[in-house]
Copies of this chain bind each other. A is one copy, B any other.
């Protein structure tokens, strides 16, 4: 790995472990094993480091949203994506950033986070619209709303799992969402 990659990786770890405010450029250099000359050759400071680290984390996280496309009916794909293993107590590396007071008030950092959520919500919305179109979900479901509901179940599942220090609440939140989707699906069948 290059010094630049080592610094970015160290910043991503420290953002995650300690948050933005509690991470100093000195901490990042120590974690990366990179000296001050190299650090300030690559980055003007903590802000620029955070921009690059956050972008890298988000690139990894948004990859899995592609599971909303591919094989299976729209409702099957929605359920498959909801059912992905998610280590709840670790939390979501992207969602966490919205709870970091220094990240939310930094226009550039929060824009990176917002745009990652927009990509993910766009995929959700499209897949839900397909499910309604295919008669798998009732026409009363608004795709833009349900996209945010289901994304919120995942993000909130992390919050509940971290509050308890257990995986259970995340899995339960997902099971409950799947059972509501199944019930909504059977409401369509009933209308037919």
Query: Nearest B residue to A138 by beta-carbon distance?
Result: B183
Q: Which of B19, B142, B147, B163 contacts A179 (CB 8 A)?
A: B142
Q: Does A2 interact with chain B (Cβ within 8 Å)? A: no
Known: A149-B173, A159-B156, A184-B187. A140 touches B99 (CB 8 A): no
User: Interface size class for chain A?
Assistant: 35 or more
Chain A, 164-189, CB within 8 A of any chain B CB: 164-165, 169, 172-177, 179-184, 186-187, 189
Is there contact, CB below 8 Å, between B190 and A17? no
Segment of A37-45, A48-56, A65-73, A90-98 engaged in the interface with chain B: A90-98
Chain A residues in the interface with B (C-beta under 8 A)? 16-19, 21-22, 91, 95-96, 98-102, 104, 110, 113-114, 117, 121, 137-138, 140-142, 144-157, 159-160, 162-165, 169, 172-177, 179-184, 186-187, 189-191
